[in-house]
Structure 1
């Protein structure tokens, strides 16, 4: 499938406490992210940047995007390889470093997928499918830092 795909959302700042951005401490970091036909996502800055820790922040969403993209790419790679996946859970982690000048970057993301397959004979192919998933993940192909995976493969019933 070739083609160009377009995505659109609206991010609305909801944090004006009445005085706008008159000072760094005078406004809330509340944001509502909306996509037509989907539930809104309540977002904010991360807590160290004066955000609301109960809301999603950009770093959370980037990590979630990488994890979900790998998961979906992995399931497809497994279908192609004849691997039957019966469960998948990822405990993804990411490291972001600040540069001391008000900016920063992600150093790396590590995905820790815990995959259950239906048969022991599928373990090697299930492990190899992670490399194929990584190579085809649109989001991992779009970032400028390493995205590694450290999978655990389990066998259903064991």
Structure 2
């Protein structure tokens, strides 16, 4: 049996591109689950640095999905996670071809309860990454470097990585 899950968002923009590339407004509103977000493009592309941009939200989605996947995997393994903090980053380079987010790096610091087993942490982080819906939906490369903490001491660093899909070059001719 196939179960469908659908996700909705509403976006609104108004203005005029008739003023040219350097001057049209990039600010727009996105509404998700009744919450409004003020959005713009990255400041390098004429956007407002005080607003969120799609690239930031992509990195946020990947980080949030990895967290939720890890918590589910840990709960099923009877591992008591007390805290999870991530400093996530995305990398987009501009070259001859179209720009895209080539790499998303997640650096979670995961605190486990005292006396926690640490023998399967590599496997659990890998499973969580494989089960993350967002990671499976992206062609961006992903690197996860999880620092595991028990009783205030770093006990392990777990690394998981997959390469980006090949760059898609524009059609010529």
TM-score by length of structure 1 reads 0.88
Aligned residue in 2 for 1:30: 27
Aligned residue in 1 for 2:85: 89
Aligned residue in 2 for 1:42: 38
The runs of at least 4 consecutive aligned structure 1 residues that moved more than 2 Å come to: 119-128
Q: Residue 151 of structure 1 aligns to a residue in which SS?
A: strand
Summarize the alignment of residues 108-123 of structure 1 with structure 2, pairs less than 5 Å apart: 108-123=103-118
Q: Is the 8 A contact 2:116 2:150 kept in 1?
A: no
- Pairwise CA RMSD of aligned residues? 1.8
* Structure 1 portions without partners, runs of 5+: none
Aligned residue in 2 for 1:105: 100
In the TM superposition, what is the alpha-carbon distance from 1:27 to its structure 2 partner? Answer: 1.6
| CA displacement 1:65-117 (0-9 Å, x = unmatched) | 0000000000000001111000000001111111345x311221111010000
TM-score by length of structure 2 reads 0.81
Summarize the alignment of residues 8-23 of structure 1 with structure 2, pairs less than 5 Å apart: 8-14=8-14, 16=15, 20-22=16-18, 23=20
How many equivalent residue pairs? Answer: 152
Greater share of residues in strand: 2
Return 120-129 or 84-93, whichever deviates more. Answer: 120-129
Q: Is the 8 A contact 1:81 1:125 kept in 2?
A: no
Return 133-142 or 105-114, whichever deviates more. Answer: 105-114
* Structure 2 portions without partners, runs of 5+: 154-173
